[in-house]
Structure 1
Amino acid sequence: MQSAANFPRIWNPSPIGSSSKVQLVNLKQHRKAHALHCLRSEGHEEKLENSSQDKLGVSSVVKEDKHKDIWNLFREAQQNILYLNKQRLAAVEELEKLKNEKVELLERLNQLEAESQIVIKKDKSSLLWELLLRVDSMVLNGLIGTEEASSMRQLVREHQANISEFPLDVLQQGDAQVLAELRQLPNRGKRNGLHVIHICTEMDPLVSVGPLASYITGLSCALQGKGYLVEVILPKYSTLDLDEVEGLREIEADAYSYFNGQLYANRIWNGVVSGVGVTFIQPLYYSSMFSRDKVYGYPDDVDRFAYFSRASLDYIAKSGKQPDVLHIHNWQTAIVGPLFWDVFVNQGLEGTRILLYGLKLCLVPPERLELCGLDPASLHRADRLQDNTNPQMVNILKGGIVYSNKVVIMSSAPSKSIPGLEPTLAVHKEKLFFAPYGLDNSKWDPSIDVYLPQNYSAENLLGKSTCKVELQRQLGLEENGSATIVGCIFSEISGVDLESLKSIIRSRKKNDVQFVIMIMNEDQMIINEMERTQDEIEGGNLKVVTGSNEVVSHLIYAGSDIMVCLNFFQDPLLQVPLKALKYGTVPIELNPQTGYVGTHEQEATTANFINSLFGRMSLDQALDLMKDGRLWKLKIVEAMEKDLCCDVHISAYTSIKSL
């Protein structure tokens, strides 16, 4: 038996001791749980409290925003009501104003009607004297010169028999309106004007090689605007821009014409170009004559245009046309002159006369005249077609001069001649009319000029002020609408008196005069000299532009008040004086030719017109004239309305009919 000592002792806690320990542990756990519960409860309550406060804050903001919105809507409604009230009051005032204006207008109409009744009762003698006295007024206010006034008085007296036809309402208007109407007296009762047919080789925009094309179109449109009936006959080139022809149609019947001993058929086309009737002649047998790449420059040019000239006359005679004037151009159609008088004058054209515009010569052997039916033996004479310097040849342009009733020479040179034909022109000097080169009105017309910021015309000059400001802006001049701009455009600088030019610039250093000089020349020495002068002028009132810039050149013509020219005869191609007049800019001469006198009593050159309208003014005199704004405007409006080229031709046409 084991001893008790060998068994392990097992501790047996008493029941009381064990129970106390368990209770102690449970108590601690309970306290811990209670503490956690309290903490959790406190955190939850804080969250609930915060959540409630947040909800309460959001609700307050929403209420405040709604309150603001309502207040804003109320204020807007108040403003709208006030605005509508103002509009209503303004409408009432405007209505009242219109009523008053209506009453005033009715009163004015009644007054005018009463005045017109008084005028109607005037007899011819009263009207005659009223017009004569208005001429006196025009002289006194500088609207016309004494020479024109004398002519105007004579004109009024000559129309005394039908003076009652003068528009009576015009008498109630200003002198300028009366003057414009008086100038129409010669055409009174002649609204249809003359019937003119151009036989030519170019017409813009159909076919254009040189200045003839724009000359034909511009002159034709201008004449039709004055009551003339104008048509054009052209070869039907294969290169024609037929899209420019309105109502192009082919005439069914062929028209035959004589050439080289036989009759040949031609196809005839017609249409309208720029408001002018145009007829095209297309050879059938000689179809290659005008089916070429170029208009001129072929060995058979004489044959080609002789055929066309004869075909044109055959067509006119056959169609029964009886024009007042056949207007022929350069050597290409100058042969129409001898053809008309030797062959066609007795074919229903007894009342027709010939006018030639010509510059270029063409010499051919006499036998070539037979191609179109002329007799070489009768024409190869010194007083007819024989050339002045080469007697073995005939000069077709000379034949045009000899066989035309009147001759217009387009020239700006004082010599007013055609080299090689001086003896012929001297013999036929009574036929001669001289005109400046006409402008291409599709390009040089301020009312349609695409290079201007705003177009203008003689009837509305507002755009010219805009052009002035734009010119100042582009060139860096002070933008001052009241400043006077003096422009200068030179193409050939070799003839410029630089010292005179610099002198007039330096003499006008005031801020109210600005100079713009365009030098279309590559002479660097001249350019450097003018640029040094530019640096000398204080205030930046001189700007020098070099090279050819079409936009700037158009802007200089439009934006300038005065244009300084070398003289009125030099540089006929650039045509500075003529363009200046067209754009309402007064031209003055830097180097006037004081000794020049016109070579023919009928001559109407640019220089003569400028001198008659403005006098031979210096720059200082022109600046003084500008101070009289009314007179200045009257003069530039008259200059813009003047078409020197057209006026010369009208004089030539009119003189032809009196032969």
Structure 2
Amino acid sequence: MASSAARLAVFFLILLADAVVPSLGSSYVVGDVSGWALNVDYSLWTYGKTFNVGDNLGWIRPKHLSVRLYPVPSRRLIMMRQSNSGSEQKRPYTKKVFRRKSPKNVSFGPSVAEESDSENSNTDDIPTTNLETMSGKSVETNGAVNAAENKSSTNLETMASNSVETNGAAENTGNSNLGINFNSVEKNGEAENDNSRKLVLSKQNQSMSLNADGGLVNSNVHIQDLIAMIRHAEKNVHLLNQARICALEDLEKILSEKKTLQGEINSLEMRLAETDARIRVASQERLHVELLEDQLEKLQAELSRRGGTLENVHDIIPNDDIIQSLSEEVNLLRTENISLKEDLKVLKAELTDMKGTGEIVLLMEKERTYLESSVKELERKITVSQEDVSKLSTLKSECKSLWERVEHLQSLLDKAAKQADQATLVLQENQVLRNKIEGMEESLEEANVYKISSEKLEEYNVLMQQKIKHLDERLQRSDEEIHSYIQLYQESVNEFQDTLTILREESKKSKLAEPANDMPRKFWSHMLLMIDSWYFEKKIESENASLLREMIWKRDGRIRDAYMECKEKNERETIRTFLGLISSVDRPGLHVVHIAAEMAPVAKVNCKDESDLISRLLLKVGGLGDVLTGLSKALQQKGHLVEVILPKYDCMQYEHVEDLRAKMMFESYFEGRMFKNKVWVGTVEGLPVYFIEPHHPGNFFWRGQLYGEHDDFRRFSYFSRAALELLLQLGKRPDIIHCHDWQTSFVAPLYWDIYAPKGLNSARICFTCHNFEYQGTAPASELALCGLDVSHLNRPDRMQDHSAHDRINPLKGAIVYSNIVTTVSPTYAQEVRTAEGGKGLHSTLNSHSKKFVGILNGIDTDTWNPATDIYLKVQYSANDLQGKSDNKEALRRQLGLSSADVWRPLVGCVTRLVPQKGVHLIRHAIYRTLELGGQFVLLGSSPVPHIQKEFEEIANHFQSHEHVRLLLKYDESLSHLIYAASDMLIIPSIFEPCGLTQMIAMKYGSVPVVRKTGGLNDSVFDIDDDSIPVHFRNGYTFFTADEQGFNSALDRAIYHYKNDSDSWQQLVQKNMNIDFSWDSSALQYEELYLKSVARAKAANRS
């Protein structure tokens, strides 16, 4: 109790000393008292009043009083703090890259907020140290001490970067030798220290009680000693200010030094460890504080219970030595506490900087790694590039030399092409000249015979005239002289007759060794049919029939003479006469038999109207009828024996068949039994034709139409077998059997599986497909109807359809079993070998590509010739184009079109209105032609109802239009007139295997505007295409099947017509002179025939 009273006396003495030098918001810390510290915070209302404790004295009114007890750290901890404090002064400051601010007003230890009536008064458990860290390269410290109020100011600013600027004025109101308060100075402002004064008393191993409301205590401590202590505290404050200035100078020097980033991180890690240790100590101290507060409450309770007096206080006041030791311990603890807080703030600031720096370092490490990888990649690319550059240097020289060679070769190729073109033209001209020369030689030989006789007759006539004159003069002289001249004349006449007889005999002998080319082709066809009928009726032997056929193939004049001689004889005498002509003959050509479903002009239907004609597809499927007739005539003209076998339809145009007659009957197999067939013979366009009429209850070919029946597979499989049976029955041994389209595709497998073993094995099979859209597929079981083995043929590599395993594809069978496979243009042959164009047969065609070839069709120049066309108003030629203008005017008058502008371009279109023909582009062409200032004429109709209806509506819309006319029908004569009258003919087909209209148009002087597909691409070459030789350019083309592509071609054509009439005239004349006849196409077929026959003969010999 005595010691407790002594410590309270010290407490009141300190209060009394503070009353002598009063200040606002002071804080005192009293030294160690048995291991405890007492912290007393208080604030005064006024400055300069007399200090006293207690409300009842009245001369001072404390605003706030709070008392806290803290545990005093142990001696070991104090020494550690001193060591840390010493090291803190030596610790260097390194330069910071980034500028960061440490948190302000950081306090360690427990705090209790107290009520305050003043805005400038607040209480903290531990004095606050404010630290401001900024980045920079200079340090400015401005301090201001308010001397008027005798206030001491202590400002400490810690800089953790290279550049710190601090402008401020700190006013420290503390005036005590027992405490030092460090306050923060904020940038560009003044801060007053509002912290309350704190008085801390230590307690060691004892309890202590304080009665805040007690009376005034009389102190044994002299006033002089207290004043000395105060002065000593002021000296210490002054020394601390000087130390602060020195520290700031040292700090300025330290900030100039530079350290590496790794050193700073190591230093911060050490500090962090120290901070952790101190935090642990602070937490321990906090526990001690809580214990002290409990003990303080107990002491207060005990003091109030005992009712202590001033005498008790005097008893507990310690002596001077105890006060001195307590003061030293208080100062030491205060200094250590302040240093600890400063260190904590600095460490926190540096820890924050370290974290930011660590993140930056990680980012920089990542960036460095990425840059290193990029550098390595760039180095690798540079190495590769250098190697490529070294290679390119050699490649450039090689490329340059190659380009020079290519240019040289190109020039040689151009020269060779030109020479080849010239050679081709020369050969064509030579061939024409040779034919003319041969004809002229024959005519010349005949003329020479008659010339000799005529010259002699003329000589005799002259002589006779002279003699007559002479006789007239001498008539009156003497009758004897007249008689002698008459005798002389008779002798001369006899001599002339003898000479004429000798010449006739010589002429007959010479004619026997030469072919009789003066007879028409139909004569020789009639002879062949007559010989075949004699053989079929068993009137002549097979060898005799063959020899007579060979004489007919050679067009032997003896056949003609024998026929003329036997006109009035009976058949037996005629046969005897012909058999007398038989001798050894050389065979001049090939025997070709065409088996087809149609032939122009006979295999066309007599339809009731043109809509029926189009809708039933009864004209020509892909131009088959025209191709068959034109090719056969061309082959016949080259000296080959050509025969045709057709079904006998009820809708044939018999007026085009000459000498049609029923000749024989034969039987053929079908559906497991034999059926009779009647054979009709006749000539069509000079070609011998056999018509087979089946006597089958199905009436296969008496349907009023060629195609489109539900049983077409059965109809044409029957016909195919009947045709081969006819060849076998007639004993014919043809070299080539040429079949057309799927309707006769059964011939190939029938020939090799059934008829070749029977002896009909001399022929090679040629198959031509005119349109791969039509393939005639059917259930596999129906193939057995004609006698073929279904199990043998229903295989993927033979006749099995790609769509199903139980269906047969006749077209595929023809491709597999034929020796030659052709289609109607080279471009179409390439198109059908693709998945889109082949319609499922592209793989089969590619497998048999060696025997597959495209040959462009021709046109019959006898039928399509503007110089001889009977349907035209005025006939014309390339050298006389006035007739074309006349036909244009005639068509305008006939259709009711305007003739005001003679030079207005007329665009024509003759076609079937089906999707294949590009119906949407034909419709667009009508309006586009009007926009470009032209006239448009359409001839054709559609089997598709909605297309027909659409064009009927368009036709009605333009019914009275002066520049548009749509004729939705088929008219043969009108089609000829449109070809002749139109300036341009459009053919915008989506696909076109060959097409004949573009050839006919050019023959009639109409420039074609076509899409580049199929045969159109092989016969029409764009005027503006520089990659094509000029002499081949003959029209306008486009590729994309849309309106933009079509416009590009039509616009150029009309622009050419309007703006360069001379060039247009030359183009028309050039097109009219192009040879689109069957001669060149027939020559290609002839080469294929001969090669195939030669291979067959070589195989037979081996």
- State the TM-score, normalizing by the size of structure 2: 0.36
Q: Aligned equivalents of 1:489 and 1:604: distance in 2?
A: 18
Q: Does 1:259 align with 2:259?
A: no
Q: Aligned equivalents of 1:627 and 1:322: distance in 2?
A: 57
Give the counterpart of 2:1076 among 617, 629, 642.
642
How far apart are residue 378 of structure 1 and its match? 2.0
RMSD of the TM alignment (CA)? 5.1
Give the counterpart of 1:216 among 628, 631, 636.
628
For 1:563, the equivalent position in structure 2 comes to 984
The letter for the 2-side match of 1:476 is S
| Contact 2:799–2:810 (8 Å) recurs in 1 | yes
Q: Does 1:405 align with 2:819?
A: yes
| Distance of aligned partners of 1:275 and 1:246 in 2 relative to their CA distance in 1, 3 Å threshold | same
SS in 1 for 2:907: strand
For 2:1019, the equivalent position in structure 1 comes to 606
Q: Which has the higher mean CA deviation after the structures are superposed, 369-378 or 326-335?
A: 369-378
| Contact 2:746–2:810 (8 Å) recurs in 1 | yes
SS in 1 for 2:680: strand
For 2:730, the equivalent position in structure 1 comes to 319
For 1:429, the equivalent position in structure 2 comes to 849
Give the counterpart of 2:748 among 309, 317, 337.
337
How far apart are residue 486 of structure 1 and its match? 4.6
| Distance of aligned partners of 1:239 and 1:166 in 2 relative to their CA distance in 1, 3 Å threshold | closer
Q: Aligned equivalents of 2:892 and 2:708: distance in 1?
A: 46
Q: Aligned equivalents of 2:682 and 2:956: distance in 1?
A: 55
Give the counterpart of 2:921 among 480, 487, 495.
495
Unaligned regions of 5+ residues in structure 2, if any? Answer: 1-413, 441-554, 556-585, 605-617, 940-947, 1037-1051, 1093-1102
Report Cα offsets for 1:5-58 as digits up to 9, x if no partner: xxxxxxxxxxxxxxxxxxxxxxxxxxxxxxxxxxxxxxxxxxxxxxxxxxxxxx
The aligned runs of 1:113-124 (5 Å cut-off) are none
The letter for the 1-side match of 2:420 is S
Report Cα offsets for 1:163-186 as digits up to 9, x if no partner: 996867999xxxxxxxxxxxxxxx
Identity, in percent, stands at: 31
The aligned runs of 1:477-556 (5 Å cut-off) are 477-478=899-900, 480=902, 483=903, 485-489=905-909, 494-495=920-921, 515-518=934-937, 522=950, 543-548=963-968, 554-556=976-978
Report Cα offsets for 1:381-433 as digits up to 9, x if no partner: 11110111111121112111212233343589794434232322332334444
Report Cα offsets for 1:50-70 as digits up to 9, x if no partner: xxxxxxxxxxxxxxxxxxxxx
SS in 1 for 2:875: coil
| Contact 2:952–2:968 (8 Å) recurs in 1 | no
How far apart are residue 279 of structure 1 and its match? 0.7
For 2:648, the equivalent position in structure 1 comes to 236
| Contact 2:1008–2:1035 (8 Å) recurs in 1 | no
SS in 2 for 1:251: strand
For 1:584, the equivalent position in structure 2 comes to 1005
How far apart are residue 372 of structure 1 and its match? 2.8
| Distance of aligned partners of 1:448 and 1:547 in 2 relative to their CA distance in 1, 3 Å threshold | same
The letter for the 2-side match of 1:516 is Q
Q: Aligned equivalents of 2:699 and 2:1056: distance in 1?
A: 61
Q: Aligned equivalents of 1:145 and 1:642: distance in 2?
A: 26
How far apart are residue 226 of structure 1 and its match? 5.2
The aligned runs of 1:301-320 (5 Å cut-off) are 301-320=712-731
| Distance of aligned partners of 1:543 and 1:455 in 2 relative to their CA distance in 1, 3 Å threshold | same
For 1:654, the equivalent position in structure 2 comes to 1087
The letter for the 1-side match of 2:642 is V
For 1:356, the equivalent position in structure 2 comes to 768
Give the counterpart of 2:887 among 467, 483, 487.
467
| Distance of aligned partners of 1:301 and 1:145 in 2 relative to their CA distance in 1, 3 Å threshold | farther
Which structure has more RCO (C-alpha within 8 Å, separation ≥ 6)? 1
Q: Aligned equivalents of 1:249 and 1:523: distance in 2?
A: 45
| Distance of aligned partners of 1:152 and 1:475 in 2 relative to their CA distance in 1, 3 Å threshold | same
How far apart are residue 251 of structure 1 and its match? 2.8
Q: Aligned equivalents of 2:729 and 2:688: distance in 1?
A: 18
For 2:469, the equivalent position in structure 1 comes to none
The letter for the 2-side match of 1:327 is H
Q: Aligned equivalents of 2:953 and 2:700: distance in 1?
A: 51
For 1:248, the equivalent position in structure 2 comes to 660
Q: Aligned equivalents of 1:237 and 1:470: distance in 2?
A: 38
| Distance of aligned partners of 1:516 and 1:405 in 2 relative to their CA distance in 1, 3 Å threshold | farther
Larger-Rg structure? 2
For 1:52, the equivalent position in structure 2 comes to none
Q: Aligned equivalents of 1:656 and 1:609: distance in 2?
A: 34
| Contact 1:353–1:656 (8 Å) recurs in 2 | no
- State the TM-score, normalizing by the size of structure 1: 0.57
| Contact 2:1007–2:1068 (8 Å) recurs in 1 | no
SS in 2 for 1:605: helix
Give the counterpart of 1:387 among 796, 801, 805.
801
Q: Aligned equivalents of 1:529 and 1:239: distance in 2?
A: 36
The letter for the 2-side match of 1:453 is K
The letter for the 2-side match of 1:404 is S
Q: Aligned equivalents of 2:682 and 2:919: distance in 1?
A: 46
For 1:197, the equivalent position in structure 2 comes to 593
Q: Does 1:476 align with 2:898?
A: yes
Q: Aligned equivalents of 1:307 and 1:621: distance in 2?
A: 55
Aligned residues: 469
Report Cα offsets for 1:325-366 as digits up to 9, x if no partner: 222122221100111222334625434332233532222333
How far apart are residue 453 of structure 1 and its match? 1.2
Report Cα offsets for 1:176-220 as digits up to 9, x if no partner: xxxxxxxxxxxxx99966433221222344442231444434443
Q: Aligned equivalents of 2:927 and 2:707: distance in 1?
A: 43
SS in 1 for 2:883: helix
Q: Aligned equivalents of 1:455 and 1:197: distance in 2?
A: 37
Q: Does 1:455 align with 2:875?
A: yes
Q: Aligned equivalents of 2:1008 and 2:638: distance in 1?
A: 27
Q: Aligned equivalents of 2:838 and 2:419: distance in 1?
A: 35
The letter for the 1-side match of 2:1090 is K
For 2:32, the equivalent position in structure 1 comes to none
How far apart are residue 280 of structure 1 and its match? 1.8
For 1:135, the equivalent position in structure 2 comes to none
For 1:99, the equivalent position in structure 2 comes to none
The letter for the 2-side match of 1:605 is D
| Distance of aligned partners of 1:152 and 1:264 in 2 relative to their CA distance in 1, 3 Å threshold | farther
Q: Aligned equivalents of 2:756 and 2:1068: distance in 1?
A: 49
Q: Aligned equivalents of 1:548 and 1:262: distance in 2?
A: 47
| Distance of aligned partners of 1:148 and 1:567 in 2 relative to their CA distance in 1, 3 Å threshold | farther
Report Cα offsets for 1:138-159 as digits up to 9, x if no partner: xxxxxx9984751663797999
| Contact 2:734–2:762 (8 Å) recurs in 1 | no
For 1:153, the equivalent position in structure 2 comes to 423
The aligned runs of 1:153-192 (5 Å cut-off) are 153=423
SS in 2 for 1:475: coil
| Contact 1:434–1:604 (8 Å) recurs in 2 | no
The aligned runs of 1:55-134 (5 Å cut-off) are none
Q: Does 1:268 align with 2:664?
A: no
For 1:419, the equivalent position in structure 2 comes to 839
| Contact 1:231–1:276 (8 Å) recurs in 2 | yes
